[in-house]
């Protein structure tokens, strides 16, 4: 349930403006993260406009980061 907060627009704006700057404010929305191999990510923030200035952002929340987690994330 705690990961549901990542879909709140206020939280999205905090993450986006921290990483991109104020020009990303209210440009991003959360999108589904069902991948073709059946896996899911925590949240994908995608811009509502097409621009190279606004790349998609994949957000993963993890208590412990180990090699298994990194391998799963990159594959």
Question: How does pLDDT run across 25-68, given as a tens digit for each residue?
Answer: 999 999 988 888 888 888 999 999 999 999 999 998 888 889 98
Domains identified in the chain, total number = 1
Residue 20 has pLDDT above 60, yes or no: yes
pLDDT at 41: 85
Query: Is 14 in a helix, a strand, or coil?
Result: helix
To the question of pTM greater than 0.85 for the whole model, the response is no
Q: How far is CA 45 from CA 14, 27, 28, 51, 66, in A?
A: 12, 10, 6, 14, 24
- Look up the domain containing 44 and give its range: 2-74
């Amino acid at each position: 349930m705690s990961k549901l907060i990542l879909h709140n627009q206020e939280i999205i704006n905090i993450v986006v403006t921290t990483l991109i700057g104020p020009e990303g404010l209210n440009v991003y929305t959360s999108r589904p993260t069902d991948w073709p191999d059946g896996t899911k990510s925590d949240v994908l923030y995608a811009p509502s406009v097409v621009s190279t200035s606004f790349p998609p952002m994949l957000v993963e929340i993890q208590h412990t980061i180990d090699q298994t987690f990194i391998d799963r994330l990159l594959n």
